[in-house]
Amino acid sequence: YNTVQTMLLQTMLNRTVALLFAAISCSHAFTTQPSRPAPRHMTELSAEVEDDISGRRSFLTTVAAVIPAVAYSTPAFASGGATAGKYTTIPIAKRRYYGRVQEAVHEFLLMGPAVIKGDLTDPVVQDFFDVTKTVVVPGKKKDINGVCNKKDGDCKATDILDSRYNDMKTTMYLLGNAFRINQQKAPDNLPTVKAAKKFFKTMNLFERKVLKNPSKNDKAATALYAEALDQLDVYLDLVELPPTESGHYDKEFSTLVGESSRIT
């Protein structure tokens, strides 16, 4: 009997202690000041926890201050937009304009034999500057599955025509404008665009001779062509294309938008 009584007393004592600790915990949850001094070991533990929290707060504050500074100071090498960014737009520009620039160089070199003779009346020379000879944008048919639904019955494709030289100026400029690594730099300050414009200036003088008063023995035109040839080589090197004397331009090139930025 004494043993059973002792066990019951011990159980009741344990429950009382448990309720006491639960009450203490609840009082800490709703009050900022303890109702009685905490034991020494609990005070030391609380101090350690507070130090740990303080250390974490200090770390997070430091990280929060450093991250914006790093993000602000890191240079952005990849740029957006159609005309800027060496790492994004150059491959796109090559796919769009390499074929047209290379075909223009091909036809420019075809004029060589006639221009060396000073003969600006040669059909090859005349065709290079003829605004009705080159299909710049192929027309698209307007019919639907072979059926024309237009009221006037005209569903024929209409091509946009221009001279090979005018298309050469456009594509050389756009290709050169893509070779940049700084968005803030004006296009006219780019080495590629400067080289292209220098070539255009010489060729514009040559074009006037061809269109206004062509002759069969124009030595001044021969000198202009030779000067433009050297200027063209400077440009081709800047846009990562082979020089005119490499033999690369002996063939014709497709002027459609390419699937690859590699030289074709």
pLDDT at residue 214, rounded to an integer:
95
**pLDDT 10s digit of each residue in the chain, 264 long?**
556 556 666 676 676 666 666 655 555 544 444 455 555 545 554 555 455 555 545 544 544 444 444 333 333 333 334 444 444 478 898 999 999 999 999 999 999 999 999 999 999 999 999 999 887 777 676 666 667 766 666 777 677 889 999 999 999 999 999 998 777 788 889 999 999 999 999 999 999 999 998 999 999 999 999 999 999 999 999 999 999 999 999 999 998 876 555 565
| 86-95 exposure pattern, b = at least 16 Cβ within 10 A, e = fewer | eebbbeebbb
pLDDT at residue 119, rounded to an integer:
97
- Do the Cβ atoms of 122 and 130 come closer than 8 Å? no
Q: How far is CA 176 from CA 118, 145, 196, in A?
A: 31, 40, 7
- Do the Cβ atoms of 250 and 235 come closer than 8 Å? no
Instruction: Give which of 35, 10, 15 is closest to 25, Cα–Cα.
Output: 35
Number of C-beta neighbours around residue 103 at 10 A: 21
Q: For residues 208 and 199, what is the distance between their CA atoms, to the nearest angstrom?
A: 15
- Do the Cβ atoms of 258 and 152 come closer than 8 Å? no
pLDDT at residue 153, rounded to an integer:
66
Q: For residues 139 and 160, what is the distance between their CA atoms, to the nearest angstrom?
A: 7
- Do the Cβ atoms of 161 and 133 come closer than 8 Å? yes
The residue length of the chain stands at 264
pLDDT at residue 90, rounded to an integer:
86
Q: 3-state class of 57 per DSSP?
A: helix
- Do the Cβ atoms of 114 and 210 come closer than 8 Å? no
Model confidence, pTM: 0.61
Both tokens of residue 99? 């074929």
